[in-house]
Amino acid sequence: MLTFTEELVLLLNDEDGVPLLIRPDIAACALAGAVLMDLAFDYRIDTDLDALVVHDQTPTGNAVLDRLLAKIAVRAEVCNTKMWIGVLSTEEAPAVHEEVLARLVERSVLTVRTGRIPWLESRRYLCGDGETAQKIRQRIATVLYSHDIPDARDVALISLLDACEILPEILPTQELADLRPRITLLRKMDLIGREVAAAIADIERSIIQAVRDRAARFRKLLLFLSAVAGSAAGATFVLPRVPVADSFGAALRMHLWFDSGWQLWTGYALLALASAGILAVVLMKVRRIARFGGHNWWRLAHAGLGVACVLALFVHTGFRLGANLNAALMVCFLAVLILGGIAGVCNNAAGELRRMGVPPRVRIIPMRLHTVALWPLPALVIIHVLAVYLY
Amino acid sequence: MSRKAFFRAGWVLMTLAAVGVALLWMTVGGARRIFLIGETTAAHHQIELACESCHTAPVFAAAATAEQALNKACRNCHEDELAEADDSHPRKMFRNPRMAVYWDKLDARLCTTCHAEHRPEITRKGAVTVAADFCRACHSEGDQDVRTDRPSHAGLAFDTCASAGCHNYHDNRALYADFLAKHANQPWLTAAPIHTLSARQRTPAPAGETALERSDALAPVAALTDPTALDQWTGSGHAAAGVNCAGCHAPEVAPDAPVAEVEARWIAAPPLTVCRGCHKAEANTFARGRHGMRQHPMIAPPRDAAKTAIGTVLPETIVRWLADAPHPTRMTVREARLPMRAAAAHKVLDCGTCHQPHAVDVGQAAVKACVTCHDDPHSQAYVGSPHHVLWQAEQSGAAAPGTGVSCATCHMLKSERRGVIATSHHQNDGLRPNTKMIRPVCLDCHGLGFAINALADSGLVARNFRGRLAVHVQSIDWAVRHAASETENTGR
């Protein structure tokens, strides 16, 4: 029998082994919740309003769960469920994901398909028996579409998927809307023992809270910043350029855009902001650094730096496209900013886009193009700087 | 290696490779057009890929050093012109520490302060890249405030200083107050409207002792079978000056060499160097104008990739790939920024483009060669203009030499030194700005007031001076009034 965590990991990929379009921090929350639910169903942990406590340290026989059980047990500080979800999602989720995938491969539930280039490890996890993941989906569908009394674990899994907004990625949006009363009913069912039920309910509440906190935190601000950055960069192609000053004197625009000394410093400021923007994304993916401030702060920093880059680009160029290499650099920079803005909007308005029927494969396109547009940017910037110093 | 690691490594390697190739193009050899930051001015676009002509500073030199080197390069080519123009704002004037107060406003020690290259958006007429009222920088305060010194200038806007036909920054030889006052009240046309130097040049000189006749032609037998060429040479200045066929077609051969030797070293189409051998002054001035600037001695040659520090350690194949393409040494009509006739686009500019070396028809180089290529309104309007009518009269013999006005009369300035009249082949010398033509050309036939007004009337210029004047520049009136008040003050 598979654990919650293993079933969740199986559901995080589609039939072709392609990961679903779920925000990494939300998926991490789901994994942390699944681990706690597994431990609760095995009577290893209990929860109350103030603390999550280990009342049985006996190993479960599952290496992943036992490792995390030990981690929870040795912690001297008293933490409640919400705090543990925070800790596990930032510190353990990627490792748990890898370990669970390895276990599933070991048990032939999944098979690994490597990339076409032999020495290049590009792994995709496919269902080894072709049935297990399908059976889980069928089980969920059966619970949702029938009026039978479901299994407690299935209800808990559905609640977890619903709390983490993974259900919309599995079920068609319209059907999900019709099923909403049934999901609400299922979550209210008292199908398990009181102690476990209390713990599961607490975990669900904490996950919902954590996911909502994460999803809602800075959402509007991120949406605003992304829209501002993208549209301001896009406006370059529409708005007329700021005209050249007709009278001699200390016109700021003449200094900014035609004085090589001023351009040097505004250029360095732009370079610093762009580098910081890229660094924010890189650091967001480094586990030990990302836990400082959380995923959303790094996303906010990235979006904020994107807007700052648009402003700095205006100060540096007046949105003049330039010629030759400079034109290539400017177009590349603007493409990165515009696509970044669109990607930010798609990311932070995922729910709205889902309801509008925009499929995940379309929603991910701006993000991928944003990354592709970034490729030539460092080379163009370095050549631009070298050309400035050489000529 | 994971897919992510592969792509990251690929990204880094491709970035480094692109930067490396660009650095090689910049420092060793190869295509550099992509590094141009903007369209080059009409003055320099022909030599825009000979970067080292202007960017002479060492690699990664400090900004101040690079700027100094850039300005030194400007002076290398233009200093003589400025000296000839009796520059009103010479660099030495501003290097004086007493002028330091102006350096922050408008650093006139540097050419690039007003003439920044590759900045098409701010490039104005005359390749000026500062606002038209730049005189304000120094002449709007204290002792230098022209509005308090000259009552006539009170209330004038600074953007009219140079645009109204009154002042030029560099060349004011025909515009300074004393000159204006001296030449005030001149009639629009002089009593004897003859361009003196042209008249002297075009008056046929008596045949000298060295003059050659048809029978003297020293050329291979095959060449002598072309009667047209022979006829043309016989009546040409070359024959009159004793220059035989072999003088150009076999320049290495002694004048009294046997025909067999001439035949052996005969060149069907003599290169420019042959012309330059005798016509040094013309060749030198030709290289200073737009027509021949690619032959200017200060134009940097293509880089020799093999001789650079990096080139010596690179494989020969790469060095060969990096080698700079040879710089074109001649301009084609197609490259011109002015309107040109499509049929002439293929023409390449050298001596033979305008001059037919065997022909005696001076009108060919003076008018026909110009209008064959140039297709702007001023050129189109020349045929049938008052100047053209006079030129036709002179050509037909109905009028005296020097009365006709060809394109060359105005645009190929003539000068006399030690009794020798030289024609400058720097054809745009008198156009930057056009008031430079007043003293050497216009005043031979016209009064100063008319000349200034006519040249300031852009419509009249476009119509090639057909019609009536629509512009009156007040500078002469003000100069006369100023002189009168000065005299009055002196009398008191």
Give the closest-approach CA distance of B39 to chain A in angstroms.
8
Could you tell me if residue B81 is inside a domain?
Answer: no
Could you tell me if residue B64 is inside a domain?
Answer: no
Could you say which residues from 323 to 342 on chain A have a Cβ atom under 8 Å away from some Cβ of chain B?
A: 323-326, 328
B54 alpha-carbon distance from chain centroid: 17
Which helix (H) or strand (E) is B420 found in, with range?
strand B420-423
Q: What is the 3-state secondary structure (H, E, C) of A230-281?
A: HHHHHHCCCCCCCCCCCCCCCCHHHHHHHCHHHHHHHHHHHHHHHHHHHHHH
Closest residue of chain B to A122, computed from CA coordinates: B3
pLDDT value at residue A135: 85
pLDDT confidence band for A293 (50 / 70 / 90): low
The CA-CA-CA angle for residues B274, B278, B284, to 5°, reads 90
- Cβ-count burial of B272 within 10 angstroms (0-12 exposed, 13-18 middle, 19+ buried)? middle
Domain range summary for chain A, segments of one domain joined by +: 4-216, 219-390
Cβ separation B34–A325 shorter than 8 A: yes
Contacts of B55 in chain A (CB under 8 A): 390-391
A252 alpha-carbon distance from chain centroid: 42
Contact B447, B148 (CB under 8 A): no
Could you tell me if residue B281 is inside a domain?
Answer: yes
pLDDT value at residue A380: 96
pLDDT value at residue A129: 67
Q: Is A389 at the interface with chain B, CB within 8 A?
A: yes
CATH superfamily of A4-216: yeast vps74-n-term truncation variant domain like (1.10.3630.10)
Name the stretches of chain B with pLDDT < 70. 1-2, 207, 360-361, 491-492
Mean local confidence (pLDDT), A346-367: 82
Radius of gyration of chain A (CA): 25
Token pair for residue B217?
A: 């032609």
Token pair for residue A107?
A: 């048990």
pLDDT value at residue A294: 66
Token pair for residue A342?
A: 């669109």
Domain count, chain B: 1
Could you tell me if residue B116 is inside a domain?
Answer: no
3-state secondary structure at position B189: strand
Contacts of B35 in chain A (CB under 8 A): 324-325, 387, 391
CB contacts < 8 A (A, B): 90
Distance CA A47, CA A195 (A): 9
Contacts of B63 in chain A (CB under 8 A): 260-261, 264
Contact A16, A104 (CB under 8 A): no
Closest residue of chain B to A324, computed from CA coordinates: B34
Distance CA A81, CA A50 (A): 8
Contact B70, B54 (CB under 8 A): yes
Residue A295 CB neighbour total at 10 angstroms: 20
Q: Is A282 at the interface with chain B, CB within 8 A?
A: no
Could you tell me if residue B298 is inside a domain?
Answer: no
A48-86 pLDDT, tens per residue?
767 888 888 899 888 989 999 998 888 877 788 888 888
Contacts of B18 in chain A (CB under 8 A): 376, 379, 383
Could you say which residues from 215 to 274 on chain A have a Cβ atom under 8 Å away from some Cβ of chain B?
A: 244-249, 254, 258, 260-261, 264
Q: Hey, which bits of A38-123 come out as E strands? A: 45-47, 52-54, 110-113
Give the closest-approach CA distance of A329 to chain B in angstroms.
11
Closest residue of chain B to A376, computed from CA coordinates: B15
Taking an 8 Å Cβ-Cβ cutoff, which residues of chain B contact chain A? 1-3, 6, 11, 14-15, 18-19, 22-23, 26-27, 33-39, 51, 55, 59-60, 63, 106, 116, 119, 121-122, 129-134, 136-137, 158-159
- Cβ-count burial of A355 within 10 angstroms (0-12 exposed, 13-18 middle, 19+ buried)? middle
Closest residue by Cα to residue A227 from A87, A49, A348: A348
Cβ separation B60–A387 shorter than 8 A: no
* Residue keyed to tokens 């975990």: A203
List of residues 6+ apart from B110 with CB closer than 8 A: B67, B71
Q: In angstroms, what CA-CA distances link A79 with A27, A67, A95, A204, A206?
A: 22, 18, 21, 16, 12
Distance CA B419, CA A304 (A): 76
Distance CA A103, CA A122 (A): 19
Using CB atoms, which residue from A115, A260, A375 is nearest to B11?
Answer: A375
> ipTM of the assembly?
0.85
Contact A166, A12 (CB under 8 A): yes
Average pLDDT along chain A? 83
* Torsion sign across C-alpha atoms A283, A287, A291, A296: positive
Cβ separation B22–A258 shorter than 8 A: no
Which amino acid is present at A221? L
Distance CA A6, CA A74 (A): 25
Could you tell me if residue B371 is inside a domain?
Answer: yes
Mean local confidence (pLDDT), A131-145: 85
Distance CA B4, CA B389 (A): 80
Radius of gyration of chain B (CA): 28
B33-36: list long-range contacts, CB under 8 Å, 24+ apart: B33/A324, B34/A324, B34/A325, B34/A328, B35/A324, B35/A325, B35/A387, B35/A391, B36/A323, B36/A324, B36/B118
End-to-end CA distance of chain B: 99
pLDDT value at residue A305: 95
Give the closest-approach CA distance of B492 to chain A in angstroms.
41
Contact A355, A173 (CB under 8 A): yes
Question: Which DSSP string do the residues of B359-370 spell out, in sequence order?
Answer: ---HHIIIIIHH
Cβ separation B3–A324 shorter than 8 A: no
Could you say which residues from 175 to 194 on chain A have a Cβ atom under 8 Å away from some Cβ of chain B?
A: none
Give the closest-approach CA distance of A112 to chain B in angstroms.
14
Distance CA B370, CA B343 (A): 13
pLDDT confidence band for A118 (50 / 70 / 90): low
Cβ separation B35–A375 shorter than 8 A: no
Residue A286 pLDDT more than 80? no
B378 alpha-carbon distance from chain centroid: 18
pLDDT value at residue B255: 79
Phi, then psi, of B288 in degrees rounded to 5:
-95, -15
Could you tell me if residue B78 is inside a domain?
Answer: no
Could you tell me if residue B405 is inside a domain?
Answer: yes
pLDDT value at residue A384: 95
Peptide bond connecting B433 to the previous residue in cis, omega within 30 degrees of 0: yes
A296-308 pLDDT, tens per residue?
788 889 999 999 9
Cβ separation B3–A120 shorter than 8 A: yes
